[in-house]
Amino acid sequence: MKYEFIRENSKIFPVEKMCRIFQIHKSSFFRWRKRTPTTRAQRKTFVINEIIRIYQWSQCRYGSPRIAKELDTIGIKVSRKFVSQIMKENHLSSIAKSKYKRTTNSSLNSKVVENRLEQIFKAGRKNEVWVSDMTYLETEEGWLYLTVVLDLFDRKVIGWFISETMKAKETSIASLTKALLDRPLQIGQ
């Protein structure tokens, strides 16, 4: 470690002074610097470069298990633990996928709503049947929830709303309010 430090800082500080501080002979440092790396050190350097290459190739998405598997497929046998250690030393961390987000509370006490459409998604006239759905959009800032209301007669989006929460007031009710503004319902329709 001392020799490495001296080599890395030889452009900043004089080698002779650093050797004196670390209490090592100057000649020992120069002999160390001229030595040829061992086969083991050369292999480790090669494997480190391969780990970095695979990490960059995966656009920083692969963690140690996938990199170890990728190394194995190209014939380099190393443990996942070794790959993990090398990644930590080189400050490489994978971009983790977002975890599954639970959006439905399926408790047994919930009331089951009657299916009035019975899978017939057709309407004979305007404003006869409206349907709604919600989708989840993952953004850099977090999840957004898009709620849409359609009129099945002309398949037109008549109301929509994007919310940062799943509260009914900010999703279903807000999109329905917009739909009612666009297509007010007449009594007797």
Domain 99-189 has CATH 3.40.50: no
Q: Residue 28: what pLDDT?
A: 87
Q: How far is CA 38 from CA 45, 116, 120, 146, 179, in A?
A: 11, 77, 74, 60, 74
In DSSP notation, 29-91 reads: HHHHHHSPPPHHHHHHHHHHHHHHHHHHHTTT---HHHHHHHHHHTT----HHHHHHHHHHTT
Q: Residue 67: what pLDDT?
A: 93
pTM: 0.44
For the chain, the domains span: 2-89, 99-189
pLDDT class of 72 with cuts at 50, 70, 90: very high
pLDDT digits (tens, 9 = 90+) for 11-67: 888 988 988 888 888 888 888 888 877 788 888 889 999 999 999 998 888 999 999
pLDDT digits (tens, 9 = 90+) for 106-120: 666 777 778 888 888
The answer to whether 46 and 61 have CB atoms below 8 angstroms apart is no
